[in-house]
Structure formats: C-alpha cells, structure tokens
Structure 1
Amino acid sequence: MLKQNGEQDLRNFTENTFQESVEEIVPGVWIALSIGHSNAIFIEGNTSVILVDTLDTGKRGERLREIIHAATGKEVGTIIYTHSHVDHRGGAGAFDLSNPEAIAFSPCVPVLEHSVMVQDILNKRGARQFGFSLSDEENISQGIGIRTGAVYGEARAFRKPTVVYDQDQVIREIDGVTVEMTRIQGETDDQIMVWLPEKKVLCCGDNYYGCWPNLYAIRGGQYRDIAAWVRSLDKIRSYEAEYLLPGHTKPVCGQEQVAEVLANFRNAIAYVLEETLRGMNEGKDMDTLAAEIALPEKYADLPYLGEYYGTVEWTVRAVFTAYAGWFDGNPTHLHPLAPGKRGEKTVALMGGPQAVLRAVQAAVEEKEYQWALELCDLLLNAGEMIQEARRWKAAAMRKLAKMETSANGRHYYLVSAYELEEGEIPEYL
C-alpha cells in the first residue's frame, strides 16, 4: 500500500522481524529464523532428525546442517517439503550424505497447460518483484524474509522428492515421532501443514505468515484460490495448536494467541474476498473496488496484517479477474483503442506533447506521482518525447517506491526505474 512513510514502515518491520536465531520451541523441536529467506523446522527423532523445509540455497543448507548437528548430534533422515517454492527446497542438497527420504505432495489443482510459454516474462517480472538487481540498502528485505542467497551468487541445491503423496492426508510414525501431513490449498496448490500431536506444534508452511499474504503475486501466475485458502485456515484452526510455526516470520506461541491470530488472519482475508464479490454484484468496476476496499481498523492495526508483502488492493484485483475475467461490464471496454492510438488522440486533445510534459512536471511537483506515471504512459504510447517521458516516469516511480509498504511493489518500482534510466525498453512500454 502507498502511504507517506511507507518505506520506513517496511524498514521498521524488517528490523523487528528478521533477526537471526535458532529457537527450541518445545523439547525436541527447533525453528531456524532468518538463516535463509524462509524458515526451517527440525524435529529430533530416536536416531535421526525430521527436517521441515531446507532454506533457499546449498550454502545456507550446509549451515543449517551444522546447526542441526550441534543441537541434536544427529543427521537428517527425513525431509518434508511444505510446498514446491524454491526458497523452501533450495538447501536440500546439503543433506545428501545422509540420503534422507524426501516427502512432498502433488498439487490438488493442475498447472495450466502451456505455462512454460510465458516463463521468461514471469521470471523477469519475478526478478523485479524480488529486487534481485538492487543493493542490500535499496532492497531492505523481501517482505517475508531476508534476501535470498541467490543474489549473492549462492547456488540452489535441490533434492528430488523420493515420495510424492496424492491424497489429502497422510499420518505416519517417523523415527518414533507421529507426524500428520495434510494438504491445505493456499499460496500454492501443493501446500501442506505438518502437525505434531504429541508436541501440539503445527507447521503451516506459507498459508500463514506475519503480514498480509501474497494472495496475488505481481510477478504473475495462476490464480490462488482465496476461498480455498480461507477453508485451509479453518482447517489449521481446528487443530487448536499451542505453537504455530510458519514458513516465514516469527512463530506464534500459546494456544489462545495462536487461536486469536489465526482467526483475525482468516477473517481479514474473508472480508476482502466477500466485500469484493458484493461490490462486483452491485456493478462496481475493478478500479473502483480496488480504491474503496480497505481493512477495517480492527484488522488494519494488527502487526501481523501489515501490507509488507501482498496488498489488499492487489487482492481485490485478483478476485475480480478470477470471478469475472478482464471485462468490467462497461461497454466502452469491449473494443478499446490500442494504447498507441489512445495515446495519440489524448495527447492531441491535451494540447500536444509539450503540454502533457508540463503536466507531468507539475504532477511530480505536486506529489501526484501516480498521475505523473499515467501522463508519461500517454506520451510513451503516442511515441512522443520518449526520453523525457522515460526520465520523468523513472523519477515518479522512485517517489512511489518511498511510499510503498510492500517489498514486492517497492522493488518493482525501483528496478523498473533503473531499467528506464539505463536505456532498456521494458515490455510494458
């Protein structure tokens, strides 16, 4: 979200949340925080260790292996992947010497066919979202964790699953520890939770972490079914855990605190989903709803619902397009003018490119940075005053980056500004 001190809010959140530590939550269960971009949880069995997620690179996985051995004196015999994102699997190769079983679940919803055909552009947008090309000072954090080790040249070290379950729940005893694994659709369609009934510990993967989640990722991708995510949170809540260990950010401890946090997290997401659907049914368009819908104060002020990763606005837009598609109901938009033609006509109507550029300059001076971006796009689409428009667009994006609380949005602004300043022609122009 955009606010006057957005960048500082993100910096404060980062400094308060991502402090490196290894905590023994209950006897025999540890969580490693801010060793990598994601968390890792390890559980001591009779003769070996069960590891839930493995951090994001081989180097960080090796450090995790040393931490585990120092704490338990044992090697990892079992790895459980909460889901397929690389930041949770990229350190697994560090444990190859002990040849652990590696457990994963198949997705409950198939990946869209031909997704590979758009992988290049999604990867490019992902690099902007995560700010891979930014310095540490510019980056601040990745919103839900410290920077991935990949930006420092560290390689991923994957280990393929040796067992892939295709059912919703599997209960096993692994080296003397009862482990209940349940598929809970949310941030990914192969997401699972790991319940340790004897310890009252629940590892929830990425279906809960301590800020507004990526209900839609601006890098692009398949719709994340928000109604299913809410049902998954209901499933998590039904376990009455005393300790909730997320894949990112700090654990939640105490049964009452876990229940309260999960209820608020679940209800806030459901509120945005339902308010968007109500507004759609009233005939409101996507832009109007995105501007109108905000979290009620009882949720907005909660520290674990801050918009440091996803945002409410992007969630509204995702819901709208998922339920109604690209058409907003306005017949004007059935066959809109091409951007170039619209730019030419609008620039002419406004008195020509010089007049539009003066309006851009005035917008920046008056701190109307979004309006400045839209005016710059008119010039760029019309093919007028290209260099000036790029320069001013980059300047406006840098101003917006200082207002953005979401690490993802902030990075996207900054990386895009660099691209324009360095003479690249991004595909969105």
Structure 2
Amino acid sequence: MLIENGKQQLLDFTEKNYKETITEVTKGVWFVSGLGHSNAVFVEAETSVILIDTLDTRERGEKLLKIIRENTRKEVGNIIYTHSHPDHRGGAGAFAAGSPKIIAFKPKNPVLERTELLKDIQDLRGARQFGYALTDEEAISQGIGPREGITHGEHRAFVPPDTVYDQEKVLCKIDGVQMELVRLPGEAEDQIMIWFPQKEVLCCGDNYYGCFPNLYAIRGGQYRDLAAWINSLDVLMSYPARFLLPGHTAAVFGREEIKRTLEHFRGAFDHILTYTLEGMNAGRSADQLASEIQLPSAYADLPYLTEHYGCVEWTVRAIYGAYLGWFDGNPTNLHPLPPAVRSNKMIGLMGGAPAVLDAAKSAVREKDYQWCLELCDLLLEDHASAGKEVLRLKAAALEGIAEYETSANGRHYYIACARELRETAEGCSV
C-alpha cells in the first residue's frame, strides 16, 4: 500500500512487534519470537523436547538450542516443520548432533513441472523482495519479522526430514505428548497445523500471523489458492485452542480472542475473493479491480491486517490471473503492439524523447513518482531514448516511492531495483 507515511508505519510496526521474547505460554510449552525471522515453539516431553520449526539460520538455531537446554535440561528428540519455507527450517543443522527425528508433510498439490527452469529469475526477484542486498536502515524489517540472518552473514543449515507424511491428518503420541498433525494448504501447499489437546495449544504455521500475508508473493510463484486458505482457517477455528502460536508475529491468547481474530482474518480474505470474482464476472479488468477493491475499515483498521507484508492490490491481480488468465476481455489486447513499437509511437505523440524526459523530471520534482516511473519505462523500452539520465531518474523515482510503501516486500523491491539501475548507469556509455 502506498500512503503518505508508509515508511514510518513500517518502522513503528517493526519496533513494536519484533523484540526478542521467550514465553512459557502454558506449562511445558514455550513460544520464541523475535530471535529469528520466524518463530519457534518447543514442548517438553517425558524425556526429550519436541521442536516446532528451527528459525532461519544455523547461528540462530544454536541460540535456540541454548534456550531450550536452559529451560528444560533436555535435548531435542523430534523436530516438526510446519512447512518448507527456508526461514522455518534453516536452523535445523544446529540440532543435528542429537540426531532428532524430523517430520514434515508432502504438498497437497505438486509444484508445476519444469519450475526449476525459473530458478534464476525467482532467485533474483526473491533477493529483491527480501532486501538481501540492503542495509538494515534501508530494509527496516521483513514485515513479518526481523531480517533474516543471512543478511548479516549467517548461514542456512537445512536438514531434510526423515518422515514425510502424504495424508490429511496424523494422530500420534511422541514421548508421552499427544498431538494431531493436519495438512492445511495456505501460504504453502505443505503447510500444517499441530494441535496439542492436553495443552490446548494450536500451532498454525503461516496460515495466520499478525500482518496481511503474502496471498501473492512478488518474487513470483504458483497461485496460493485463497478459497483453500479460507477453508484452512475454518479448520483452525474448529479447535478449542486457548493458545494460538503462529509462525510469525505475536501469539494470540484466549478462546474468544482466537476465534475473533481468525474470523476477522477469514472475513478479510473472503471479502477480497468475493468482490474480485464478482467484478471479474461484471467484465472489469485486473487494473480496474486492483485500483478499486480495498478492505473495509472493520478489517483494514485491525493491527493484524496491516499491509506490512502482502498487499490487497497484489492479491486481486493474483486472483484475476488464476481464474481468468492474462486476457482481460478487451479485444485490443489480443495482439498488442510490441512494447518497443508502442513506446516509440507514444513518445512521438508526446512530442519526442526530450519532452517525455522533461515531463518525467517534473513528475519526480512534484513527487508524482508512479507517473515518473511510467514515463521512464517508455523511454527505456524505446532503446534509442535510453541512457544514464533516464536510468538515474527512474532510480530516484523508485527511491521516492519506497518512502510511501507500507509493505516491507514492496519497499525492498523498489530500493533494490533503484540500486541496480544506478549501477547500470555507471557502466552506461550514453
């Protein structure tokens, strides 16, 4: 979301939410937040410890291991991954000496075949999204947690699971602790929840956390089925939990508060999905809907639905592409002009490249950053008009618009691309 004080809102949210805390939420269950980009939960069993997720790096995993030993005087015998994202399992190597059993689930739906051919572009876009090359001052946080340890020279230490379930639900007792593992697709296809009935503790992974989630990740990836995610929230609400422990941000305490929070989370998702589909059915384009659909204040004003990670606008576009594909129904767009040809014609109509460049300069002076970006793209697409001045002007507009962005992901992407453009300009001959 772009608003006047976007940067300050992200700063305030970060300072309020990401202090390191270790809390025994109920006897024998500890919730660790702020130590890594993600959270961890550990449960004291009869002779060992059950660990839910391992933080994002080996170094942070080692700190977690020390905390576990100090609080339980026991070793980790079992690790459960809530899902396969690296920030939740990158610290597993810190526990390898104890040879714990590691449990995970297979994805509900498989990854598209040949996705590996996109590795380079997804790695590049992922690095931009997470701000890996940025300073702490530039990045602020990662929206749903402190910056990942790899931004400070730490190392991932993933250990593959040795038990991978391919079923919807597993009931088991591990070292005297009864639990229920349920596959609940949402942010990831292999996402699970863990219910400890004797403790009234529900670990929900990333299907809920106190921030508007990545219903679409700008690094790119398969559609995150919003209807399925809503169904998963219904399942979470069916459990009589007194303690809801998410994979990011703060825990939620009390049955009524948990029920109310999850209902609001679900309601926000349902609002976006319903209004997007209805608008699509009425013949409106993705651009029109993305500019129009917003959360009503009953949801938007809630602290756990602020757009510091994902954005409503990106979600609308993802839904449109998933349900109707790229074509917006306008026959003009069936065979559009090649971008370079269109840019050349547009620049000509606007009075030539010098006039467009002057307009872009005026736009950035007036803080009309999005218009400046769009004018710069016309000049860059028409290669004869491209040059150092345009690259630097676009970089300045990206840096300017980043100050308005509430989403850490969007802010990172703007600033990272601005840096790349300035580096390109340094090597440009014109």
1:411, 1:160 → 2: CA distance?
A: 30
The corresponding residue for 2:332 is: 332
Unaligned ranges ≥5, structure 2: none
Say if 2:23 is the partner of 1:19. Answer: no
Correspondence 1:88-99 to 2 at 5 A: 88-99=88-99
1:420 match: 421
Deviates more, 1:385-394 or 1:256-265: 385-394
* Identity %, equivalent residues: 59
The answer for the alignment partner of 2:207 in structure 1 is 207
The offset of 1:386, in angstroms, is 2.1
In the alignment, is the contact (CA less than 8 A) between 2:392 and 2:425 conserved in 1? no
The AA in structure 1 aligned to 2:403 is K
Matched, 1:392 2:393: yes
Letter in 2 for 1:408: N
Q: Which residue of 2 aligns with 1:129?
A: 129
> SS where residue 217 of structure 2 aligns?
coil
Q: Which whole-Å CA distance do the structure 1 matches of 2:142 and 2:425 have between them? A: 24
1:403 maps to which residue?
404
Shift of 1:385: 4.0
Query: How far apart are the structure 2 equivalents of 1:75 and 1:374?
Result: 56
Once the two structures are TM-superposed, the CA of residue 389 in structure 1 deviates from its matched residue by: 1.3
Q: Is the 1:36–1:55 contact (alpha carbons within 8 Å) kept by the matching residues of 2? A: yes
Q: Trace 1:336-347 onto structure 2 (pairs within 5 A).
A: 336-347=336-347
Amino acid at match of 2:416: V
Letter in 2 for 1:144: I
Output aligned runs, 1:177-216, within 5 Å.
177-216=177-216
| Conservation of the 8 A alpha-carbon contact between 2:387 and 2:425 | no
1:30-429 matches, cutoff 5 A: 30-383=30-383, 384-423=385-424
How far does the alpha carbon of each residue in 1:204-225 deviate from its partner, in whole angstroms, 9 at most, with x for none?
0001000100000000001111
Q: Deviations over 1:281-321 (max 9, x none)?
A: 00000000000000001001000000000000000000000
Q: 2:235 corresponds to which letter in structure 1?
A: K
Moved more, 80-89 or 366-375: 366-375
SS at match of 1:146: coil
- TM superposition shift of 1:155: 1.3
The whole-number CA distance in structure 1 between the counterparts of 2:56 and 2:222 is 22
* Deviation for aligned residue 1:361: 1.3
**Aligned partners of 1:300 and 1:147: how far apart in 2?**
25
Q: Judging changes above 3 Å, is the alpha-carbon distance between structure 1 residues 252 and 424 closer, same or farther for their aligned structure 2 residues?
A: farther
Supply the AA of the counterpart residue of 2:393.
W
Deviation at 1:424, TM superposition (A): 6.7
| Contact 1:186-1:225 within 8 A present in 2 as well | yes
| Cα RMSD, aligned residues only | 0.9
Paired with 1:410 and 1:270, the residues of 2 have a C-alpha distance of: 27
TM-score, structure 2 as length reference: 0.98
For these two proteins, the number of residue pairs brought into alignment is 425
Q: State the one-letter code of the partner of 2:259.
A: A
- Paired residue secondary structure (1:354): helix
Tell me, yes or no, if the aligned pair for 1:353 and 1:385 is still in contact at 8 Å: no
Q: Deviations over 1:348-371 (max 9, x none)?
A: 110000100111112122221111
Deviation at 1:93, TM superposition (A): 1.1
